[in-house]
Amino acid sequence: MKFISIMLGGILIQNFVFMQYLGLCPFLGLSEQMDTALGMSGAVIFVMTFASTVAAAFEQFILVPLHLEYMRTIAYILVIAGFVQLVEIFLKKTVPSLYKALGIYLPLITTNCAVLGVALLNARQSYGVLWGTVNGLAGALGWSVAIIIFAGIRERWKFMNIPGTLKGFPLALVATSLMALSFQGFSRLFASVLK
């Protein structure tokens, strides 16, 4: 039940992009093509899920016992950056085709504030390793759903007559606003059942 609650939370009820303002830079920047969106989504799902695991483990086994919670920010960012670096090296050696496919997306994820964001949120809600991982997965899926939907919409903009000054970010932001409005329907979904 908690699993469903967290999953629905990250994807529909409190979507990471549309409700929690996380991961916006890559969301806005990489949503122009469906292929890019799909590629980045795959990378994000993988990294965000397991980076959450690693960060939560670090929290549980090192930070808390040593009362170093105030070092959380530094610790997490180093842990995440290190993890991404390790993944990069590992992929390069074992599955070079995948490494090539992901290209620059992989290092780019370190700056995706959603990754650090979800790890910090996990700590704030004391989720522990298991639920922290689930939350990471949920957030990543929510982010992916958002960017895939957006890419579908943006690809159509090639065929439309958009005034020059509005092209790019202004239009993307207004469109995101409309998408966020559409997702508002899911707020408090299953509220009575999940609480």
Partner 1 sequence: MGEKLIVTPSPHIKSPRTVKGVMLGVVISLLPACVGAVVLFGMNALLILITSVVSAVVAEALWQRATKQEITVGDFSAVITGLLLAMTLPPGVPLYVPAVGSVFAIVIAKQIFGGLGSNFVNPALAGRAFVLAAWPMSVAGAWLNPLTHDAVSSPTPLAVLKGGGTNIPGLWDLLIGNRTGSLGETSIILLLLGGLFLLVTKIIDWRTPVGFLGTLFVGTWVFGKPGALFQGDGLSAILLGGAVLGAFFMATDYVTSPVTPKGRLIFGIGAGLVTLLIRLWGGYPEGVTYGILFMNLMTPIIDRFVVPKYYGYEHDARARKSAEGKR
Partner 2 sequence: MKRSLLHEFTKGFIEENATFRMVIGMCPTLAVTTSVKNGFWMGVAVIFVLTFSNVFVSLLRKMIPDQIRIPIFVILIATPVVIVELLMRAYLPAMYEILGVFVPLIVVNCIIIARAEAFAYKESVLRSFLDGLGIGAGFTCNLMIIGGIREFLGTGQIALGSFVFPSVKLFEPLVVMLTPPGGFMTLGLLMAILNIAVARSAQKKAH
Interface residue list for partner 2 (CB under 8 A): 18-19, 21-25, 28, 70-74, 77-78, 81, 110-113, 116-117, 120-121, 124, 164-166, 169-174, 176-178, 180-181, 184
Q: Find the Cα–Cα–Cα–Cα dihedral 71, 104, 94, 56, rounded to 10°.
A: 20
82: its two tokens: 């290190």
Q: Which of 92, 188 has the CB closer to partner 1?
A: 188
Distance CA(77)–CA(179), nearest Å, equals: 30
Query: Among the candidate windows 53-61, 90-98, 111-119, 167-175, which touches partner 1 by CB under 8 A?
Result: 167-175
**3-class secondary-structure state, position 21:** coil
* Binding flag, residue 38, partner 1 (CB under 8 A): no
C-alpha span between 53 and 80 (Å, rounded): 10
Q: Give me the residues that bind partner 1 (CB under 8 A), please.
A: 34, 148-149, 152-153, 155-157, 160-163, 166, 171, 174-175, 177-179, 181-193
